[in-house]
Chains A and B, each alone.
Chain A
């Protein structure tokens, strides 16, 4: 039986809105990627949460997901209101975690990535802020000094870390969007020093 014209019209409208949402979410329009909820509402309409749900279902099949970062970072709402959604920021991120061999695909050397992990792990363990010098000292234990400077500047530039005028490091917007902090710290504490806790069979070598 043929679908009713009303349903077809609605499907076509949703399809158009999903295309618009893809353009807004994938392409960087400002300095930072991602798009605010109010911006989506203005471009797509007040039913943008529904459109994002549909898009999420579609992206799921491709190993991607729409990631929502709420303003109330410490306690993200379970059932967000429209106002909370409007203030939240939406990104598209890889749904699956990467295998050790794949980090090259996103342009990271193994020691740069480890430096990032150490910096973030240390900041998280210190309650979300720590003096720059402490992070530098920790990184210098295993990385040459010149490399530490380059790496920290890269983490700052890309938004993983922010620094205030007192030289204190905080977690940046990108960490909030990309890193599952709880999982990361738990995995770190579970890791055994003798056994390699990465995915079995992965080979990692510094490039």
Chain B
């Protein structure tokens, strides 16, 4: 003989059924008036005195919340019916089913204003595309570059740069002095500053890395100052006429990535 379910078990099942009903109305886009809101609320009310466990109370609240969503859908449904756009869906559907396709297409054309959109190649865009193609490195090289990027990044030393031929040991000081002289004569803005990339940027990527490296020494040794505007993402170099002793001023390191992509972007900006 089947035993009668306890009111708590029955109530939980009812609440879950209510939630599912409401969710399916929303998910399937059904007429929300198919839901008997009053009946569902009375079911919730009937079982409410049985709840004491927090999970059961949460289920009860969820059921109420879903009923509220259905009421909201009902309100939207009425609003839509009240608009001048509303036409009986059954009539429209009937027309769509019964009219020959040529007629439907003809009717649609009378209410259809296709957009005008053009696609055209211009001399300017061709030129830009060709420039891009010329500068685009072959795929195998790009992939090789990605592999290189995957290697661990570690600070480089002057010795390593000498070994790689970027710097020559005996000319380091001379080069530094030459660059300082150049920095002092460089065209500055009203505030006596120069854009970092405008100063270190060179015709080649290697040249740019070299200038960035030397500039870092100019700043460290007090021949110039670095001004960073983090919000504007701008970095400036300010030359000193004479070497400035840092004294007891706390110094800090500020890493600036000199990537190939960044250099390429700078070069394109400069050309445009």
Binding site for B on A (CB under 8 A): 26-28, 33-34, 64-65, 67, 74, 91-95, 97-100, 102-103, 106, 110-111, 113-118, 120-122, 124-131, 138, 141-142, 166, 168, 174, 177-189, 191, 193, 196-199, 202, 204
Total residue contacts A-B, CB cutoff 8 A: 174
- Which of B95, B115, B119 makes the CB contact (< 8 A) with A27? B119
Bound Cα distance A197, B80 (Å): 27
A26 touching B85, Cβ below 8 Å: no
- Which of A120, A187, A189 makes the CB contact (< 8 A) with B110? A187
Binding site for A on B (CB under 8 A): 27-29, 76-77, 80, 83-85, 87-89, 91-93, 95-120
List 30 A-B residue pairs with CB atoms under 8 Å apart, sorted by A's residue number: A26-B117, A26-B118, A67-B113, A74-B83, A93-B113, A97-B109, A97-B112, A98-B109, A98-B112, A102-B109, A114-B102, A117-B105, A121-B96, A122-B92, A122-B93, A125-B96, A127-B80, A127-B89, A138-B97, A168-B27, A177-B115, A181-B85, A183-B111, A184-B107, A188-B104, A189-B95, A193-B98, A198-B103, A198-B107, A198-B109
- Which of B87, B95, B116 makes the CB contact (< 8 A) with A191? B95
How near does chain B come to A100, taking the closest CB pair, in angstroms?
Answer: 5
A107's nearest neighbour on chain B, judged by CB, is B114
A178 touching B96, Cβ below 8 Å: no
Bound Cα distance A98, B190 (Å): 61
A143's nearest neighbour on chain B, judged by CB, is B101
Bound Cα distance A130, B31 (Å): 11
Bound Cα distance A46, B98 (Å): 51
B101 touching A185, Cβ below 8 Å: no
Bound Cα distance A126, B88 (Å): 9
Interface centre among A28, A141, A187 (most CB of B within 10 A): A187
B101 touching A110, Cβ below 8 Å: yes
B99 touching A204, Cβ below 8 Å: no
